[in-house]
Amino acid sequence: MEAQLEAAVETYLSALREADVERILSLFTAYAVVHSPLYGVMAPADFYPTLFADTSAANLELRSVMHGRDTSGVRTMSFWFHFDWRLPSGAAAPFDVIDAVTLDEDGRFTSLHIIYDTVDVRPAFEAETGRASWRH
């Protein structure tokens, strides 16, 4: 199981780096949800095209993969990586992030929570896109 989860992380990061919507969506169930500190709660089919439209480059460096079960027994996985995000103009908005994922029995993502400090990224994102970011 560990090898399957690590392969899923590698596929995810590779697809994220290459802005490959089809490949990234293949990792998710049909009912999955993405929770983003900038974009809010969205279906993956809506989130990733929006993210990729706001991205001119994405250089990623994996730091760690963790897996286990949540308090109700659902399989989980988290991966920590550096995301050197470039906005459409090329402006840098880098951050360190942990993506926390819940998994179905087949290892497909049922939810993905993107966790990072947006203090530096949020103003750059809002200035670049002209849109307010999502906030709780």
Q: What is the CATH number of the domain that holds 88?
A: 3.10.450.50
Q: Return the DSSP state at 113.
A: E
Separation of alpha carbons 100 and 6, rounded Å: 14
B/e letters for 43-63, b = 16+ CB within 10 Å, e = fewer, are ebeebbeebbebbeebeeeee
Task: Say how many C-beta atoms besides its own lie within 10 A of residue 126's C-beta.
Answer: 13
Separation of alpha carbons 53 and 8, rounded Å: 23
Asked, for residue 40, whether it belongs to a domain, the answer is yes
Separation of alpha carbons 31 and 40, rounded Å: 16
72 touches 101 (CB < 8 A): no
pLDDT in tens, 36-86: 999 999 999 999 999 999 999 999 999 999 999 999 999 999 999 999 999
pLDDT in tens, 35-49: 999 999 999 999 999
Average pLDDT, the chain: 93
Separation of alpha carbons 73 and 116, rounded Å: 25
Domain that holds residue 8: 2-129
Q: Give the number of domains in the chain.
A: 1
Asked, for residue 53, whether it belongs to a domain, the answer is yes
Q: Return the DSSP state at 117.
A: -
Asked, for residue 134, whether it belongs to a domain, the answer is no
Asked, for residue 135, whether it belongs to a domain, the answer is no
Whether the full predicted model's pTM is greater than 0.75, yes or no, is yes
